[in-house]
Structure 1
Amino acid sequence: MTERNVLETRVRALYLARNVNDLDTMMAQLDPDFSFRIVGTGRLSAMALAVNTPETVRSSFAALVENWDLSEMEMVGCYADGDTIVVHRAGFVRYIPTQARERTEIIDKFSFRDSRIVDLTEFVDTLFVAETIGLLNEPAVA
């Protein structure tokens, strides 16, 4: 088991790279066997499909960086259990194609092996995503 601060440093490095759209640094934080998925149904299209090869991970991350600005998200909690880190983030997310911007929360569950991220499962507000990318006919009333 790796010390918590080493794992947290790796997570923070991934978030910082994500905020400046640095795919190479993002990929450098990951184990070669890394897998990623956003929890959701197939209605969220490719966003909710698990990816687990360097090529599909890079492609998925590139699409996310191109379409979603998370630079206004902040870590509001970080919890560790062995080689697992769970991060609670909150703040504004911007959908770049339409400039839609909304306050939301995200939970990220990271699993590690040899101090490298081997799995990331992300829990997002899927209704917000579906509305924002146009999967629903009418947005919810606030």
Structure 2
Amino acid sequence: MVTKSEVEALLRAAYAARQRGDLDEVMGFFGEGAHFSVSGSAAASPVPTVASGSAAICEVLRRLVSAFEFKEATIVSLVVDGAEAAVHWHVHVRSLATGEEAETDILDMLRIEDGRIVSLRQFADTALINRLLGR
């Protein structure tokens, strides 16, 4: 069983790696067979996605890291309840496709097992993401 402080440290390290754009380090925080999703309507935006397993998650995260530079990212709140966690973070992001910058909030719901992320469901402003991508 992972303690609350261990989960908090794990997530702070994972989010710091994402801010740096270090995909290899970010992937090291995911467990085998993990699930990752960005919620939203696929009919309204190409951003919502579901990926299972390391290879699929790595591909989705590679696209995100190559599309967006996090100029600044701050964890606003991090709530841990056993193996479940919620992270509310505020980001100043720059689109590498258009150069446009924006600030927004993201909410992630996570599940941790054996010291690794096994599920991450992200809620983000998909309309803003479309605009930043020039769509």
Taking structure 1 as the reference length, the TM-score comes to 0.87
User: Whose Rg is larger?
Assistant: 1
How many pairs were matched up? 134
Segments of 5+ residues of structure 1 without an aligned counterpart are 136-142
Q: Alignment partner of 2:134: what SS?
A: coil
Match of 1:65, as an amino acid?
V
Question: Would you say the 8 A contact 2:111–2:118 is kept in 1?
Answer: yes
SS of corresponding position for 2:50: coil
Shift of residue 71 of structure 1? 4.0
**Cα distance in structure 2, aligned partners of 1:91 and 1:58:** 21
Please report the RMSD computed on the Cα atoms of aligned residues, expressed in angstroms.
Answer: 1.4
Take 1:91 and 1:131, find their aligned partners in 2: how far apart are those partners? 16
Contact 2:45 2:127 survives alignment (8 Å): no
Residue by residue, what CA displacement relative to the aligned partner does 1:14-55 show, whole Å, maximum 9, x if unpaired?
11211222222111111101110111111322x312001211
More strand by share: 2
Equivalent-residue separation in structure 1 for 2:45 and 2:4 (angstroms): 33
Distance in structure 1 (CA, Å) of the matches to 2:22 and 2:130:
26
Give every structure 1 segment of 4 or more consecutive aligned residues whose post-TM-superposition deviation is greater than 4 Å.
none
In the TM superposition, residue 70 of structure 1 has moved relative to its aligned partner by: 2.3
Number of the residue aligned with 1:72? 72
